[in-house]
Structure 1
Amino acid sequence: MLKSARKQEKDPEGRMPLAEHLRELRNRLAKGLLAIVAVTVVAAFFYNDIINLFTKPVLDSVGCPSTFTELAKQPKDTTCAQITINGLLTPFTLALKVSLMAGVVLASPIWLYQLWAFLAPGLHNSEKKYALAFVGAGFPLFLLGGYFAYSVLPTTAKVLIEFTPFGVDNLLPLDDLLDLVTRMVIVFGLSFELPLLLVLLNFGGVITGKRMLGWWRAMIMGITLFAAIATPSTDPLTMLALAVPIWVLYFAATGISLINDRRRAARDATGPADDEASELDLTPEAVGAIEPVAMAPALPEQADGSRAQRLNGYDDVT
């Protein structure tokens, strides 16, 4: 009974000994890994569907015809690609890789929540609010960037396949194709996280919205250059389809930062809140002249001519 009562008692501020922290971290990690393993096992049953989802855009744009009728309709000078798998163990390792990747992605809400549950007790209420807002905005932005990568993949594959010399068959290994798709999704997803990173730095007091607004020319040039490299197509519409959303997100982040700067200036003008400590003034001050200390009155002389010594406020005479 006493042990169970002690377990129920918790510090209202979330403080606990180091051993308790390590035990909680172990439990959180175990729950996150268990969720990844469970989703990976389920994703293994849909391995072929996941592969088709990744390879369909490339096959639709540059895949070689599978029937004689489609081959007859294709121009003679057209280069196509054929997806292949090399090795006896490659299909098995590829299935594990794809299933694990799907497990990590699909189980992300669970292990992200476990990470949040471990860090949340050490945060203040305002920090919890901001952290939840950033996580809630970051995940959709990453998905949006991945969707753009998936949408421009056919055009990218068509442009790259044109570099194949005429009369040479292009055999595209399936593992290389999956690595290319994964890299594009990660790069595009992280590029859509740039505005969120700028807002995070602004809330942390690192940069101001006014400075971000002064960067708009360089940011537009850099985003346009990135879109041109990430989408190697001669069609400017494809490049603008990636650059324009990032432009909009950048200026939205600048607007949010300017509003936050104005709110912060108004808060500093009114002073600290009730639950905040005021800043200490550590400016040194000049020390004035030391006033002389009043001397105690002289004690009467004793018969032997010596002064009476004070002890605890009394002289030796009394």
Structure 2
Amino acid sequence: MAKEGRETRNRQGRMSLGEHLVELRKRLIIAALGLVLGLVGGFFLVNPVWDLLRKPINDLKLQGREAVLTYSAITEGFDLRIQIALFIAVIITAPIWLYQIWAFLAPGLTRKEKLYGVGFLGAAVPLFLAGIFAAWMVLPNIVRLMSTFQPSEDAFFLQARLYVDFAVKLMLAVGVGFVMPVVLVMLNFVGIIRGKTILKSWRVAILIIVLFAALTTPAADLWSMFLLAAPMVLLYFIAVGIALIHDRRLDKRRAKEFEEYGIDMSEPDLSELDDEDSSASQNTKPRKASQDS
């Protein structure tokens, strides 16, 4: 009987907790192997990427400011190369680890929802890269603004490891922020949240986006904050529009199906309500009579 039960669950596509954990371990191992391979490939791209990250500091030198990146430990140069290589690995292996996230959820999805997952991957990867590019565009403004708080006659010394750590965290945070509207669309397409619900929260969403942009940029750099917040707000409303269009098409399809079966969802069945009222009144009459007696 237990074997038949397991076979029935397998035919229905259900997995036990242990099977979920095994599947999660499998996806994590594949994602980790992808990151390791990306790390190896990233070592060959460290120098050009490091030149791009160093560009805001070189721009300060061209403006006549004494700006220098420093190394405070013997092994810091090697540690810095590993950090940059890992950052490159996260970017170039984004299709792999994003696919593993989707593949872990795929067994519980229908065929149509799996197609939505493919669309999610197709939109999430370029948006993630676009977010990284947007953060790299505002990075020089942040460095330039922060240097103005130092007296011009003083040297602007930056520890290389801390500078790269700030730049990498900024790019990854903005990259993830750009992917969030796609997550909202995905939740709408699988039926978890409706477009009207997303639209009703537009004030909260804009507030969260502005706070996110303010946390990832200096408080005094309003221009950089605007450059980050504006495309994220635009992506949010694009996601709302897509969700509303999808809900409208889905409602029309359901209404047509109800018409084919002769079901009118616009108003309740009054005959059933009358039957229920009459039965309720019949049940209450004997009770009242017994009370009078």
Give TM-score, length-normalised by structure 1. Answer: 0.65
Change in 2 beyond 3 A, CA 1:89/1:15: same
Equivalent position of 1:48 in the other structure: 47
Change in 2 beyond 3 A, CA 1:242/1:35: closer
Identity value in percent: 39
8 Å contact from structure 1 (residues 159, 233) kept in 2: no
SS at match of 2:149: coil
Change in 2 beyond 3 A, CA 1:47/1:159: same
CA distance in 1, matches of 2:22, 2:198: 43
1:165-314 mapped onto 2 (5 Å cutoff): 165-203=151-189, 207-216=193-202, 219-220=205-206, 223=209, 227=213, 230-232=216-218, 240-269=226-255, 270-271=257-258
Aligned-pair CA distance for 1:60: 3.4
SS at match of 1:144: helix
8 Å contact from structure 2 (residues 30, 100) kept in 1: yes
Aligned-pair CA distance for 1:165: 2.7
CA distance in 2, matches of 1:223, 1:16: 37
CA distance in 2, matches of 1:32, 1:220: 33
8 Å contact from structure 2 (residues 188, 243) kept in 1: yes
1:50-199 mapped onto 2 (5 Å cutoff): 50-56=49-55, 58-62=56-60, 64=61, 74=64, 79-199=65-185
Aligned-pair CA distance for 1:224: 5.3
Aligned-pair CA distance for 1:206: 5.5
Q: Deviations over 1:56-98 (max 9, x none)?
A: 2x12332x36xxxxxxx83xxxx44211111112122222222
Extract unaligned runs of 5+ from structure 2.
1-9, 261-275, 284-293
Equivalent position of 1:316 in the other structure: none
Extract unaligned runs of 5+ from structure 1.
1-10, 66-72, 274-284, 290-318
* CA-based RMSD: 3.8
Aligned-pair CA distance for 1:233: 8.9
Aligned-pair CA distance for 1:152: 1.1
Aligned residues: 257
Q: Which amino acid aligns with 2:70?
A: T
Change in 2 beyond 3 A, CA 1:167/1:237: closer
SS at match of 1:46: helix
The range that moved more, 44-53 or 248-257, is: 44-53
Equivalent position of 1:303 in the other structure: none
CA distance in 2, matches of 1:133, 1:246: 19
Aligned-pair CA distance for 1:161: 0.6
Give TM-score, length-normalised by structure 2. Answer: 0.70
Change in 2 beyond 3 A, CA 1:223/1:30: closer
8 Å contact from structure 2 (residues 129, 175) kept in 1: yes
SS at match of 1:45: helix
Change in 2 beyond 3 A, CA 1:161/1:261: same
Change in 2 beyond 3 A, CA 1:171/1:115: same
8 Å contact from structure 1 (residues 227, 239) kept in 2: yes
CA distance in 2, matches of 1:111, 1:187: 16
Q: Which amino acid aligns with 1:147?
A: F
8 Å contact from structure 2 (residues 138, 227) kept in 1: no
Equivalent position of 2:36 in the other structure: 37
Larger Rg belongs to: 1
CA distance in 1, matches of 2:215, 2:97: 34
8 Å contact from structure 2 (residues 67, 157) kept in 1: yes
SS at match of 2:151: coil
Change in 2 beyond 3 A, CA 1:180/1:200: same
Change in 2 beyond 3 A, CA 1:216/1:271: same
CA distance in 1, matches of 2:225, 2:43: 36
CA distance in 2, matches of 1:16, 1:161: 56
Q: Which amino acid aligns with 2:76?
A: T
The range that moved more, 131-140 or 152-161, is: 131-140
